[in-house]
């Protein structure tokens, strides 16, 4: 009886041990499988994040490089334009001011301007010439004696604080004048100088 009981005990123990071992092995296998799946998913997610980061980084780099190139081109163009303005201004400013400040040159201009209105006709209009007020003492006698005395009557002289050099001329009372100031001549001459200066500065 005791032997049978011992055999039964050993059988139950052996079967329980085997089943427990099998269950343990199954649990380990399942855990290992789950771990492998988790690791595989983690690697896949890592690769996805890495690729996305690389794309974003490359897109950002390209965007920054494009912006830098654009800003560089704009800055260079602005600098060249400033140089263009300085070169043209320096090239014509002083010569024009000197010429317009010359009484003889001014007299020639006034005669030509008056002649263009053709006051010699019977229906001639009264012309008004505006001169710089700052040069009134210097110009008044010269214009009246040496210029207007050679032309027909119907010309009035006025002086304007807003005019720095040169003169303006127009029909009296009509509300408009044709301007012959240093700024006008500088603007005119700069139009001739700009194409060549721009070609020199902006050519690649």
- Evaluate the CA torsion angle 171, 173, 174, 180 in order and state its sign: positive
pLDDT at 149: 67
Give the separation between CA 160 and CA 179, rounded to whole angstroms.
13
Main-chain dihedrals φ then ψ at residue 166, nearest 5 degrees: 80, -150
pLDDT at 2: 56
pLDDT at 202: 64
Among 85, 106, 82, smallest CA distance to 96 is for: 106
Spans in the chain with pLDDT lower than 70: 1-24, 118-124, 149-153, 198, 200-204
Query: Helix 2-101 and helix 103-116: axis angle, to 10°?
Result: 90
DSSP H/E element including 32? helix 2-101
């Amino acid at each position: 009886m005791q032997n049978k009981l011992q055999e039964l005990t050993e059988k139950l123990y052996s079967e329980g041990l085997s089943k427990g071992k099998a269950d343990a092995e199954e649990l380990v296998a399942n855990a290992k499988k789950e771990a492998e799946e988790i690791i595989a998913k983690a690697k896949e997610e890592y690769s996805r994040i890495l690729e996305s980061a690389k794309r974003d980084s490359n897109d950002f780099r390209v965007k920054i490089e494009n912006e830098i190139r654009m800003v560089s081109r704009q800055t260079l163009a602005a600098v060249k334009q400033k140089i263009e303005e300085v070169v043209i201004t320096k090239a014509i400013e002083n010569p024009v001011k000197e010429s317009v400040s010359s009484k003889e040159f001014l007299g020639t201009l006034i005669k030509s301007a008056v002649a263009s209105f053709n006051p010699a006709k019977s229906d001639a209009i009264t012309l008004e010439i505006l001169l710089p007020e700052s040069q009134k003492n210097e110009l008044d006698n010269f214009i009246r004696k040496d210029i207007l005395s050679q032309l027909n009557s119907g010309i009035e002289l006025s002086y304007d604080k807003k005019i720095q050099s040169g003169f303006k001329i127009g029909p009296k009372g009509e509300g408009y004048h044709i301007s012959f100031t240093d700024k006008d001549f500088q603007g005119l001459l700069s139009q001739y100088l700009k194409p060549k200066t721009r070609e020199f500065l902006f050519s690649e």
